Amino acid sequence: MDTASRRDAVAAGLALAAAAVPAVAGAAGAAASSSDPIKIGFVDFDRVLAEAQPAKVAQQRLEREFARREKALDQEGERLKTAYAQLDRDGPTLAAADRARRERSLAQDDRDYQVKRRSFQDDLAQRKNEELSSVIQRANAVMKRIFDREKFDLILQEAVFVSPRIDVTQKVIDGLNSSTPPTP
């Protein structure tokens, strides 16, 4: 991570913390007035997306859906690499016109390949967002059930430091796993 990205991440974290302080203070004030302790939880969403069965199923579905297309692109990339290497080897012995024709042809093939690669990446990103959106909606529903059932005052998804005693990530993963439909 470069310095600018790190600085932006720290600034975003500080902004989030600054926004959370009044909410926590307000909740603490309300808790203090009712003499009930404030109950805060934390969910590591990256871990949920890495370990929950619905997220794994979604990832497998994407891999199956895009595997053939990715393999074809990889083969085309290797073919282009081989063709460029061949041109470099044969180039000194080719006539100038023949060399120029091959270079133009390879350049056009490379542009076509890059367009296909970008299209593939765009399609993959869109499908990944669709699949992720479904998992996130389900995870949010599980978090809401945990929030209501265990009477939390606040559940955070991002924090700088977290005590393991307020980490409810495993409960969210278990809740998602227990509600997982069968794999298609």
Domain ranges of the chain: 1-36, 39-178
Q: What is the pLDDT of residue 180?
A: 53
Residue 10 has pLDDT above 70, yes or no: no
Q: Does the pLDDT value for residue 47 go beyond 50?
A: yes
Cα 84 → chain centroid: 34
> Given phi > 0 = left and psi -120 to 50 = alpha, else beta, which region is 94?
beta
Q: What is the pTM of this model?
A: 0.64
Q: Could you tell me which residue, 62 or 36, shows the higher pLDDT?
A: 62
pLDDT digits (tens, 9 = 90+) for 119-171: 999 999 999 999 999 999 999 999 999 999 999 999 999 889 999 999 999 99
**Arithmetic mean of pLDDT, 65-87:** 94
pLDDT at 8 over 80: no
Domain 39-178 annotated CATH 3.30.910.20: yes
Q: What is the pLDDT of residue 165?
A: 93
CA distance 115 to 109: 10
